[in-house]
Amino acid sequence: MTGGSGRLGRSVVRVLAEAGHDVVSIDRAGAEGLPARQLQIDLLDAAATREAFADLAPDAVVHLAAIAVPGSRPDAEIFDVNTRLMWNVLDAVLAAGVGALLVASSPTVIGYGAPHGWEPAYLPLDEAHPIAPWTGYAASKVAIEEIVRMAVRRDGDRARFGVFRPCFVIAPEEWTGAPTQQGHTIVERLADPALSAVALFNYVDARDAGDFVAAWLARAGEVPNGEVFFVGAADAMVEQPTAEALATHVPALAPAAAQLAGSEPVFSSARAERLLGWRARRSWRTELHSAPPADPIRTAEEAPHA
């Protein structure tokens, strides 16, 4: 796994290790207590990446490493780093004869939140919905998805490829007060729905995302090569009914939002359930008040593409 020390990676490593996988995390920074062998390698170094994969000869690779926060760096830098990481990992995978590669994309490819307006073709959003990236981060994820499609066309007889778009990731410690990626706590996000409205109230528990990765690894050969999946919670992160919250905080979506019932999420994970038997098991309704205090795994250094 690349990016195993990151907010999402730490939970995915744990889920895979608990499922019996022998996990190796490659990242620029290490993480205390991670149940995996850890190699600190800069994946922007193509030669070092290829050498590491050749030495490890893994059965599968899960590629999470990226500059993970839109706007955290200039757009050109985010696009450059994220796409170069993808090229280097793909090259190393093919050179090492790896049989399966799962790559993390993002729901931001859809284009919500664009400063000059965005309206969905329909709700809930699924993988067939048109994309409309408007940031360097989202554009980098579109490019990564296209690189995977290229690899399927060119190398689909050599390996299985997959893409998943995890929703706003909530790490286990964030249920008990640690700040989310946006800097707010879960309680603050629920108290002020405008904080989550910018992402259309989407989220996923990092452990559920780990379960998705495990499900894809187990069934990669049974689903279409290069398939893309949304991976999100089965509800929206807002106390109001989803349609009502969208009408209040994202008025342009009100007509389409009428199709959503109750707490139904804006992003549909039905494809993952249909093809992989995966469905998120955790919700803010079950986790926020029942989660015991958690000790977050601390990284030795917060790497910009971990």
Indicate which CATH number applies to the domain containing 218: 3.40.50.720
Q: What percent of the chain has pLDDT over 90?
A: 92
Contact, 233 vs 172, CB < 8 A? no
Q: Which residue has the tokens 């895979």?
A: 16
How many structural domains are present in the chain? 1
More confident residue, 295 or 269: 269
Position 302 pLDDT exceeds 60: no
DSSP SS3 for 104: strand
41 to 46, 51, 96: CA distances (angstroms) = 10, 11, 17
Q: What is the CA radius of gyration of the chain?
A: 18
Contact, 77 vs 163, CB < 8 A? no
Closest CA to 200 of 106, 94, 91, 300: 106
In angstroms, the CA 139 to CA 129 distance is 16
165 to 28, 106, 160: CA distances (angstroms) = 23, 4, 17
Mean pLDDT of 105-133: 96
| Residue 297 pLDDT | 45
Backbone angles phi, psi at 64, to 5 degrees: -110, -20
179 is a domain residue: no
| Residue 292 pLDDT | 52
293 is a domain residue: no
In angstroms, the CA 3 to CA 66 distance is 7
Position 290 pLDDT exceeds 80: no
DSSP SS3 for 64: coil
Sign of CA dihedral 198, 289, 215, 90: positive
| Residue 304 pLDDT | 40
239 is a domain residue: no
Residue 59, burial from CB neighbour count under 10 angstroms (0-12, 13-18, 19+): exposed
In angstroms, the CA 119 to CA 110 distance is 10
What mean pLDDT is reported for the chain? 94
Position 301 pLDDT exceeds 80: no
184 is a domain residue: no
In angstroms, the CA 179 to CA 159 distance is 38
In angstroms, the CA 193 to CA 51 distance is 47
Q: Which residue has the tokens 């757009």?
A: 75
Q: Model confidence over 59-95: pLDDT tens digits?
A: 999 999 999 989 899 999 999 999 999 999 999 999 9
Q: Model confidence over 153-182: pLDDT tens digits?
A: 999 999 999 999 999 999 999 999 999 999
In angstroms, the CA 122 to CA 133 distance is 17
| Residue 188 pLDDT | 96
294 is a domain residue: no
In angstroms, the CA 94 to CA 87 distance is 11
Q: Which pair of tokens denotes residue 52?
A: 């590491």
139 is a domain residue: yes
260 is a domain residue: no
177 is a domain residue: no
In angstroms, the CA 141 to CA 289 distance is 34
Question: Binning pLDDT at 50, 70 and 90, where does residue 152 land?
Answer: very high
| Residue 303 pLDDT | 40
Q: Model confidence over 199-239: pLDDT tens digits?
A: 999 999 999 999 999 999 999 999 999 999 999 999 999 99
Helix 75-96 crosses helix 136-155 at what angle (to 10 degrees)?
A: 20
Domain of residue 209 covers: 7-171+203-234+265-281
